[in-house]
């Protein structure tokens, strides 16, 4: 960034519209200015944090006019916590902006003929909608400017979320509006217990300390899984913590812990210990049960996941005699959800433990027409696989944010399934893949679905049909 631009204040910038990733856009001196923490209709002074030849980025330092679409954020951590950045925008408008984001990405990146982008399917619950939260223990509590200036001595132990872009600073959360049930009580009471008993909170920079991480997973059926990650192997203290949780919260149906002395918080490669209850929780959807182990992915907004899967199933419009490939199947949720309307469903997924869960999920629901395979999609979906399996009539694909590997897209073009239902949590990479699929496919339906109210994230489902001529 040119020195001239850094920290320059652009005054009275009119915020015009939302751009990607929740930032808003204004114009100054013929350049686009991306600003975070504002709303279309605001007029602000902006401090420039990044300046390039064609655009600038900045943050608001003074407001001259507030947008009429603003509402009061409900959370005391708003503005510091990176979690729900759109609390200041009313929900109807959030849905409008999400639809607009999908349209923008498809026009800008896919550059193909589009049907009408349907209005965003909103989430019934716009607070307490998440079934999984991940809290970090730290001995480097984030302090506000006022707290620092007060020169008071603050206890620096914290349990909460990472401050955006500051990996070792943790905001000490006292109420989070994202997860209901006993989530807030478990976090707060565990923190108090740890402080009273002088148990050490993790030092992220130096990688020492007993209490490292807390994961709480809940289900719509009222079950709760709690996983505590310990950064040190100290059996006495571990028992003390786990006994406290077991006795204080009999509602916990699955209580586990893991000792993690690695450099990162992931525990896919570590063994978890079930301290009390079962090693899994169970979610239910349309009478189907889905077993969720501590390492399994499950859509984080359970109720809206049902709406999402219904959209995917409607787009697939199965009659009962089709072979369906469910790519990036996770624990086989979509595969099992559509199985009774198909002849056969073949699910493919990277994580072996998830594929084991997918098989169990078919078994416990008496579903016999599913097959599941574990492996990297670009390797597993090869000529041999195609020779050994029936050709798909419908492909449902739900890749991670990065979208599909180009090799996978090429294989889809080679497979020539009459219908492809593409579910995505990142319309930009979805649009990139669609640009390639356009060689043989038309986009005929587009339905944005809001899985994450109060954030700029949008899930998008599209139906592609194979061109006949
Ligand atoms: C967005 S999730 C979809 C899960 C599932 N469809 C559902 O609704 O629960 C994406 C899944 O893709 C899997 N995945 C990521 N990269 C992969 C790859 N290269 N090959 C196969 N699966 C992959 C992840 O493990 C994850 O389960």
Count of C-beta atoms within a 10 Å radius of residue 342: 23
Q: Residue 465 pairs with which residues in a beta bridge? A: 419, 442
C-alpha 332 to ligand 1 mean position (Å): 10
With a 6 Å cutoff on the Cβ, whether 354 touches ligand 1 is yes
Query: How far is CA 164 from its chain centroid?
Result: 15
Q: What pLDDT was estimated at residue 81?
A: 86
With a 6 Å cutoff on the Cβ, whether 329 touches ligand 1 is yes
Please give the C-alpha separations between residue 284 and each of 2, 91, 218, 288, 293, in angstroms, as whole numbers: 55, 27, 12, 5, 14
**Sign of the four-CA dihedral 429, 304, 254, 250:** positive
C-alpha 423 to ligand 1 mean position (Å): 11
Phi-psi region of 103 (alpha: psi -120 to 50; beta: other; left: phi over 0): alpha
Burial 190-202 (b: 16+ CB within 10 A, else e): bbeebeeeebbbb
Of the candidates 24, 75, 81, 425, the residue annotated as catalytic is: 425
Taking the CA of residue 408 as centre, how many other CA atoms within 13 Å lie in the half-sphere pointing to its CB? Answer: 25
Residues 211, 199 contacting (CB under 8 angstroms): yes
Phi-psi region of 191 (alpha: psi -120 to 50; beta: other; left: phi over 0): alpha
Q: What is the DSSP letter of 22?
A: G
pLDDT in tens, 200-243: 999 988 999 999 999 999 999 999 999 999 999 999 999 999 99
If one residue of 399, 411, 424, 458 were mutated to test the ligand 1 pocket, choosing by the most ligand atoms within 8 A of its CB, it would be 399
With a 6 Å cutoff on the Cβ, whether 453 touches ligand 1 is no
If one residue of 400, 424, 458 were mutated to test the ligand 1 pocket, choosing by the most ligand atoms within 8 A of its CB, it would be 400
With a 6 Å cutoff on the Cβ, whether 241 touches ligand 1 is no
Ligand 1 atom nearest to CA at 351: 25
C-alpha 398 to ligand 1 mean position (Å): 7
> Residue 85, class by beta-carbon neighbours within 10 Å (0-12 exposed, 13-18 middle, 19+ buried)?
buried
Cα angle vertex 352, ends 342, 407, to 5°? 70
Nearest C-alpha to atom 15 of ligand 1 is from which residue?
400
With a 6 Å cutoff on the Cβ, whether 297 touches ligand 1 is yes
C-alpha 44 to ligand 1 mean position (Å): 41
Nearest C-alpha to atom 4 of ligand 1 is from which residue?
330
Nearest residue to 342 via CA among 365, 358, 319 = 319
* DSSP run (H or E) holding 435: helix 427-437
Residues 257, 237 contacting (CB under 8 angstroms): no
Cα angle vertex 355, ends 446, 275, to 5°? 115
**Sign of the four-CA dihedral 221, 286, 401, 262:** positive
Ligand 1 atom nearest to CA at 399: 10
Nearest residue to 385 via CA among 343, 347, 334 = 347
What whole-number distance in Å separates Cα of residue 407 and Cα of residue 49?
A: 38
H runs (alpha helix) in 14-168: 91-105, 145-150
Q: What pLDDT was estimated at residue 3?
A: 55
H runs (alpha helix) in 118-234: 145-150, 183-196
C-alpha 103 to ligand 1 mean position (Å): 24
Q: What is the pLDDT along the chain (469 residues), one digit of tens a residue?
A: 455 677 889 999 999 988 877 789 999 988 899 998 899 999 999 999 888 888 899 989 999 999 998 999 999 999 888 889 899 999 999 999 999 999 999 999 999 999 999 999 999 999 999 999 999 999 999 887 777 888 788 889 999 999 877 777 899 999 999 999 999 999 999 999 999 999 999 998 899 999 999 999 999 999 999 999 999 999 999 999 999 999 999 999 999 999 999 999 899 899 999 999 999 999 999 999 999 999 888 999 999 999 999 999 999 999 999 999 999 999 999 999 999 999 999 999 998 888 999 999 999 999 999 999 999 999 999 999 999 999 999 999 999 999 999 999 999 999 999 999 999 999 999 999 999 999 999 999 999 999 999 999 999 999 999 998 7
pTM of the model: 0.91
Residues 95, 450 contacting (CB under 8 angstroms): yes
Asked if 176 is an active-site residue, the reply is: no
C-alpha 374 to ligand 1 mean position (Å): 11
Main-chain phi, psi angles of 44, to 5 degrees: -135, 160
What whole-number distance in Å separates Cα of residue 71 and Cα of residue 77?
A: 16
Q: What pLDDT was estimated at residue 53?
A: 80
Nearest residue to 444 via CA among 12, 114, 174 = 114
Please give the C-alpha separations between residue 231 and each of 161, 262, 263, 440, in angstroms, as whole numbers: 17, 8, 10, 52
Tokens of 396: 């449902």
For the chain, the average pLDDT equals 94
With a 6 Å cutoff on the Cβ, whether 301 touches ligand 1 is no
Q: What pLDDT was estimated at residue 284?
A: 95
What whole-number distance in Å separates Cα of residue 176 and Cα of residue 155?
A: 21
Q: What pLDDT was estimated at residue 296?
A: 86
With a 6 Å cutoff on the Cβ, whether 333 touches ligand 1 is yes
Tokens of 105: 């990405």
> Residue 66, class by beta-carbon neighbours within 10 Å (0-12 exposed, 13-18 middle, 19+ buried)?
middle
If one residue of 297, 326, 385 were mutated to test the ligand 1 pocket, choosing by the most ligand atoms within 8 A of its CB, it would be 297
Nearest C-alpha to atom 23 of ligand 1 is from which residue?
350
Residues 228, 213 contacting (CB under 8 angstroms): yes
Count of C-beta atoms within a 10 Å radius of residue 114: 17
Q: What pLDDT was estimated at residue 4?
A: 67
With a 6 Å cutoff on the Cβ, whether 302 touches ligand 1 is no
Length of the chain: 469
Count of C-beta atoms within a 10 Å radius of residue 166: 12
Count of C-beta atoms within a 10 Å radius of residue 42: 24
Nearest residue to 226 via CA among 267, 180, 277, 172 = 277
C-alpha 56 to ligand 1 mean position (Å): 35
Nearest residue to 68 via CA among 41, 43, 98 = 41
With a 6 Å cutoff on the Cβ, whether 353 touches ligand 1 is no
Residues 130, 180 contacting (CB under 8 angstroms): no
* Residues sharing a CB contact under 8 Å with residue 261, sequence separation 6 or more, in sequence order: 207, 231, 232, 233
Measure the N-to-C terminal CA separation of the chain; round to a whole number of Å: 51
């Amino acid at each position: 960034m040119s020195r001239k631009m850094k920290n320059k204040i652009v005054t009275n910038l009119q915020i015009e519209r939302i751009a990607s990733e929740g930032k808003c856009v204004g114009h100054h001196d013929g350049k686009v200015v991306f600003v975070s923490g504002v709303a279309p209709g605001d007029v602000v002074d902006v401090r420039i944090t990044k300046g390039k030849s064609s655009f600038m980025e900045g943050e608001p330092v003074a407001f001259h006019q507030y947008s009429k679409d603003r509402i009061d954020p409900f959370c005391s951590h708003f503005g510091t916590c990176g979690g729900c950045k759109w609390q200041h925008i009313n929900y109807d408008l959030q849905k409008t902006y999400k639809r607009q984001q999908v349209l923008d990405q498809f026009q800008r990146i896919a550059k193909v003929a589009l049907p009408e982008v349907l209005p965003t399917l909103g989430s019934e619950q716009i607070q307490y909608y998440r079934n999984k939260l991940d809290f970090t223990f730290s001995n480097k509590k984030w302090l506000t400017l006022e707290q620092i200036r007060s020169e008071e001595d603050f206890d620096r132990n914290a349990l909460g979320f990472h401050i955006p872009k500051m990996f070792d600073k943790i905001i000490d959360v006292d109420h989070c509006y994202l997860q209901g049930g006993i989530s807030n009580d478990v976090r707060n009471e565990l923190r108090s217990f740890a402080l009273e008993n002088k148990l050490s909170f993790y030092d992220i920079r130096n990688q020492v300390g007993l209490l490292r991480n807390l994961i709480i997973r809940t289900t719509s059926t009222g079950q709760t899984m709690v996983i505590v990650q310990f950064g040190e192997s100290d059996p006495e203290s571990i028992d003390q913590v786990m006994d406290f949780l077991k006795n204080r919260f009999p509602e916990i149906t699955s209580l586990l812990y893991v000792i993690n002395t690695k450099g990162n918080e992931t525990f896919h490669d570590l063994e978890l210990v079930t301290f009390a209850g079962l090693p899994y929780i169970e979610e239910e959807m349309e009478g189907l049960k889905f077993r969720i182990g501590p390492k399994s992915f499950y859509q984080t907004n359970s109720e809206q996941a049902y709406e999402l899967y219904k959209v995917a199933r409607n787009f697939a419009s199965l009659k009962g005699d089709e072979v369906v490939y469910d790519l990036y199947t996770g624990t086989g949720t979509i595969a099992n959800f559509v199985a009774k309307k198909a002849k056969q469903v073949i699910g493919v997924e990277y994580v072996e433990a998830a594929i084991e869960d997918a098989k169990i999920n078919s078994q416990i629901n008496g579903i016999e027409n599913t097959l599941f395979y574990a492996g990297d999609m670009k390797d597993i979906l090869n000529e041999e696989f195609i020779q050994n399996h029936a050709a798909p009539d419908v492909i449902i694909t739900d890749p991670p944010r990065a979208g599909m590997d180009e090799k996978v897209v090429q294989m889809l073009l080679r497979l020539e399934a009459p219908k492809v239902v593409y579910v995505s949590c990142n319309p930009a990479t979805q649009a990139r893949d669609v640009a390639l699929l356009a060689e043989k496919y038309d986009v005929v339906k587009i339905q944005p679905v809001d899985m994450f109210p109060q954030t700029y994230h949008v899930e998008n489902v599209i139906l592609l049909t194979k061109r006949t001529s």
